[in-house]
Amino acid sequence: MCSTTWVLQATNTAYQDADIYDARYAVGERMGYPSCVNQTYGCMSSQCVIDTLASYGLVAREVHCTFDQAYAIARTNTGTINPQGQYHFMAIRGVSGSEIAVANSAEGYMGVYSTLSRSQFNALGPVSVIYVESRA
């Protein structure tokens, strides 16, 4: 929910002037509580993220990818990244040197702060990336 909110704000789609907690709450409601997001498990599936982005007019696609593929996507697109070993969605902010820059609402969780290195990616994988292709 936090990563989806970040994507909506970063793409100038919604909530640019909203209080961050109000924005997250609104996105959680739109995403679907408790079926798609809840306090026990967080986001329940990638499809919930894709459907929520679509409800705001963003066309998103999910790929299960290597670090090099995710890095290439992060150079040109925003979206979310979810290392399965971490089970935590983070927003894609771009790249920083040889790493993927992320907006991580749980900064420091499993050693990930504001970037995801190749070694972290590989250790926490497999990884899914949901990236915004276009507006509907």
Q: How far is CA 70 from the centre of its chain?
A: 12
- Report pLDDT for 84: 96
CATH of the domain at 41: 3.90.70.10
Query: SS3 of 105, please?
Result: coil
Nearest 5°: CA angle at 74, between 70 and 77? 120
- Report pLDDT for 124: 98
Domain coverage including residue 115? 2-135
For 99-130, the pLDDT digits (tens) are: 999 999 999 999 999 999 999 999 999 999 99
Structurally, how many domains does the chain consist of?
A: 1
For 3-55, the pLDDT digits (tens) are: 999 999 999 999 999 999 999 999 999 999 999 999 999 999 999 999 999 99
Element (H, E) at 52: helix 46-55
